[in-house]
Amino acid sequence: MATTIEAPARPTRPARRRRSRRVWRNTAVGWSFLLPNFIGFAVLTLAPVLVLFYLAFTDWNVFGVARWTGMANFRRLIHDQSFWTALENTLYYTALHIPLTLGAALGLALLLNRRLRGVAFFRTVAFFPYITSIVAAAQVWNMLFSPQYGPIDAVLRPLGIAHPPGWTVSTTWSMPAVILVGTWREMGYYMLIFLAGLQTIPAQLYEAARVDGANAWQRFRAVTVPSLRPTTFFVTVMLTIGSFKVFDLILLLTNGGPGQSTLVLSQYIYQTGFQENHFGYASAISVVLFVLCFVATIVQFHVNKRRSV
């Protein structure tokens, strides 16, 4: 045994040492690149996040020592009506906000991906909501939505709608209103990413399709959609995480109301933590939210992989 190994081992040993030296060197070089960012990231983000995962299994009121309670917080979640309402609302928001934003962003991108005078202006306009401060935007939208004095309903009334919706002060319409504002705000951002994706599609593909006699719709289905898949995937992933975590928009627009009609998970976390002072429980809800985002991303990843095969 020993001799058989000895023979081939001799020449490779320096090679292996060389390889291990290279691995060591690469590791050092790699870390030297990461370090300036990693130190800040590890201390300021990663450490608190790890603490949060620990706190999810404790009873903590911010001031005292966190008391380990095992799965108690998660058991409590199962019977918490508000949690389920918040989860339901979050899914409602996500389910509508993603396709709407995706559609609006893609539509705008297709419209603006051509040679037109003033195209830069329109692109800037589309991006404007994203740079407008959210505090100011919420203030303005609330006034626009005002059921008695707001311009939106003032426009709807002459159009024959006798009882226009109460928007942010209606339990039925508050969520659509929030989704509308969310889409308004984010479509320009994703439009730019789509625009970039469109610009990378080789023109030859369109030419080939045209030669085959495909009309505009067929070209869109056969060339644009598949070529855009990587971009679409990225946009959906970012949109999903963003939608699950939606917070300040709702806080400023409706504060979760009226009733619990726009209460979402992020806000419920804030409420249980800061208003009711159950930080351990709030951490447990955060972990659920994190898992949701994670699972959604993994699912999308697999769907995307299967489609692109």
Partner 1 sequence: MKRLVSAALGLTAAASLLVAGCSSGSPAASASAGVPSGPTTLTLAGWTLSTTPEFKALADGFHAAHPNVTVQLKEYDATNYDTQMIADLAAHSAPDIYVLKNLKNFYTYQSGGQLVDVSDVAKSLGSGVGGLSDYQVGGKAYAIPYRQDSWVLFYNKALFDKAGIAYPDGSWTWDKYVSISEQLTAALKDRGSKAVGDYQHIWQSTVQGFALAQTPGAKLTSGDFSYLKPYYDRALALQNAGAQPTFGTVSTNKLTYQAQFGKQQAAMMLMGTWYIATLLKQQRTGDADTFQWGMAPAPQFDASTTGTSATPVTFGDPTGLGINPAISSDKVSAAKAFLEYAAGVQGAKSLAAIGITPADTAAVASDFFSLKGMPSDSLSKFAFSTHDTKPENPVSKYTTGLQDLLNDLHTAVMSGGKGIDGAISDAQSRAKSQVLNQ
Partner 2 sequence: MDTMLKPAPTDALPAPVPRRRNGKRASPAVRVLIYVLLVAAAAGVLLPFYWMVVSSLKTDNDVVTVPVKWLPHSVVWHNYLDIWRKSQMTTWLENTLILSFAVTALQLFTGSFAAYGFAKVRFPGRDLLFIVYVGTIAVPWQSYMIPQFILMSHLRLSNTLWSIIALQAFGALGVFLMKQYYESIPEELSEAARIDGMSEYGIYRRIMLPLSAPALASLALLTFVNTWNDYLGPLIYLRSPNLRTIQLGLSTFISQYNTEYALIMTGSVLSVLPIAVIFLLGQRYFVEGIATTGLKG
20 or 171, CB closer to partner 2? 20
Site string for partner 2, 7-36 (x = CB under 8 A): ----------------x--xx-xxxxxx-x
209 or 253, CB closer to partner 1? 253
The reply to whether 180 sits near partner 2 by the rule CB under 8 A is no
Give the number of residues in contact with partner 2, rule: CB under 8 A: 105
The reply to whether 278 sits near partner 2 by the rule CB under 8 A is no
Least CB distance from residue 182 to partner 1, whole Å? 18
Question: Of 9, 45, 48, 307, which lies in the binding site for partner 1, with binding defined by CB under 8 A?
Answer: 48
Q: What residues from 167 to 196 belong to the interface with partner 1 (CB under 8 A)?
A: 167-172
The reply to whether 127 sits near partner 2 by the rule CB under 8 A is yes
If one counts every other C-beta atom within 10 angstroms of the C-beta of residue 236, the result is 20
Least CB distance from residue 259 to partner 2, whole Å? 22
The reply to whether 177 sits near partner 2 by the rule CB under 8 A is no
Least CB distance from residue 44 to partner 1, whole Å? 7
Q: What residues from 142 to 171 belong to the interface with partner 1 (CB under 8 A)?
A: 142-143, 145-150, 166-171
Site string for partner 2, 55-94 (x = CB under 8 A): x------x--------------------------------
119 binds, among partner 1, partner 2, none (CB under 5 to 8 A by kind): partner 2
The reply to whether 51 sits near partner 2 by the rule CB under 8 A is yes
DSSP the chain: -HHHHHHHHHHHHHHHHHHHHHHHHHHHHHHHHHHHHHHHHIIIIIHHHHHHHHHTTEE--SSSPPEE-TTHHHHHHHT-HHHHHHHHHHHHHHHHHHHHHHHHHHHHHHHHSS--TTHHHHHHHHHHHHHS-HHHHHHHHHHHH-TTT-HHHHHHGGGT-SS---GGGSTTTHHHHHHHHHHHHHHHHHHHHHHHHHHTS-HHHHHHHHHTT--HHHHIIIIIHHHHHHHHHHHHHHHHHHHHT--HHHHHHTTT-STTTT--HHHHHHIIIIIT--HHHHHHHHHHHHHHHHHHHHHHHHHHHHHH-
175, 262 Cβ separation under 8 angstroms: yes
Backbone angles phi, psi at 196, to 5 degrees: -60, -45
Which of 189, 181, 184 minimizes the C-alpha distance to 254? 181
53 or 121, CB closer to partner 1? 53
Q: What residues from 221 to 250 belong to the interface with partner 2 (CB under 8 A)?
A: 230-231, 233-234, 241, 244-245, 247-248
3 binds, among partner 2, partner 1, none (CB under 5 to 8 A by kind): none
- Binding positions for partner 1, rule: CB under 8 A: 39-40, 42-44, 47-48, 50-51, 54, 61-66, 79-82, 139, 142-143, 145-150, 166-172, 256-261, 271, 274-277
